[in-house]
Structure 1
Amino acid sequence: MQPVMTAQEIAGFLDREFPQIHAGGRAYSIDSVSSGEAVMRLAATDLHLRPGGTISGPSMMALADLAAYVVILAHIGPVALAVTTNFSINFLRKPEAGDLLGTCRLLKLGKRLAVVECGIAGAGEEELVAHATATYSVPPR
């Protein structure tokens, strides 16, 4: 399944329709969009750290949920009302401070539901720090 939107088109859509993701600065960005996949980056700052210098769980959850939204938008087009209906995350190990990449893959893209899995790892690392799954409701066209 080929994307119908580019990373740049999705970024523009998010800037217009979901500007609150940039509260506190532009920490989240789209690295790439390809067939059935999107990669999002969290350029973690002090705002994303918890005591002990590790990236917080809520920051990783936001990365995974946003990356899921991006991969779905990439394949259905600019549908603002696609919403999360289920989200589950497993934290696997402590992420070090620095950039995280969320790589999300479409598992199913139906008429009404989309199911996505997302692996989160440090930039340049292969070992996952978290793994999430999400289901989105896609509004009727």
Structure 2
Amino acid sequence: MDQETPSPAAIQAIVHRGVPLAAAWGVEVVASEGGTATCRLPWREDLLRPGGTVSGPALMGLADVAMWAALLGVTGGRDESLTTSLTIHFLRRLAPGPVLAEARLLRRGRLIVGEVLIRSEASEEIAAHVTTQWAAVSPSARPSR
């Protein structure tokens, strides 16, 4: 059963604690509601690749975090599911500036399937299309260490 949706600020705090790299990059959770989330990656020169575009690893990390934000939004902020696959199709270079990742859950169950569209904040043109699959792990089902 779905839980009450935490605020984007609450989800962002969970993401930053759970994925310190997202905090270091300054990833923001702009919105999260009904199995969707939008995350923003500020423009950072240290995330560029030769040619002046945002690197693939940065975009993959942003997509993964955005999908987790969508999951956190429907699980009351309690989710320890694990990414099992992530496929990204780079469609075009991103214009200089912040990047948005718009995630949506397509299927929830033991396996979770989602999609993320990545674009420049200044454009509606999709720069990358991501499909991802996660294994559902309930917080109480994780083995203790």
Instruction: Using structure 2 for the length normalisation, give the TM-score.
Output: 0.86
Kindly indicate whether the alpha-carbon contact (under 8 Å) linking 1:3 and 1:34 is maintained by their aligned counterparts in 2.
no
> Which segments of 5 or more consecutive residues in structure 2 lack a partner in the other structure?
141-145
Aligned to 2:123: 125
Name the amino acid aligned to 2:12: A
**Distance of aligned partners of 1:48 and 1:2 in 2 relative to their CA distance in 1, 3 Å threshold:** same
Kindly indicate whether the alpha-carbon contact (under 8 Å) linking 2:79 and 2:137 is maintained by their aligned counterparts in 1.
no
- Report percent identity of matched pairs: 34
Aligned to 2:19: 18
Kindly indicate whether the alpha-carbon contact (under 8 Å) linking 1:36 and 1:75 is maintained by their aligned counterparts in 2.
yes
Instruction: Using structure 1 for the length normalisation, give the TM-score.
Output: 0.88
CA distance in 2, matches of 1:51, 1:18: 26
CA distance in 1, matches of 2:127, 2:5: 30
Displacement after TM superposition at 1:116 (Å): 0.7
Aligned to 1:29: 28
Moved over 3 A (4+): none
Name the amino acid aligned to 1:98: G
CA distance in 2, matches of 1:123, 1:3: 28
CA distance in 1, matches of 2:111, 2:77: 16
Secondary structure of the residue aligned to 2:102 is strand
> Which segments of 5 or more consecutive residues in structure 1 lack a partner in the other structure?
none
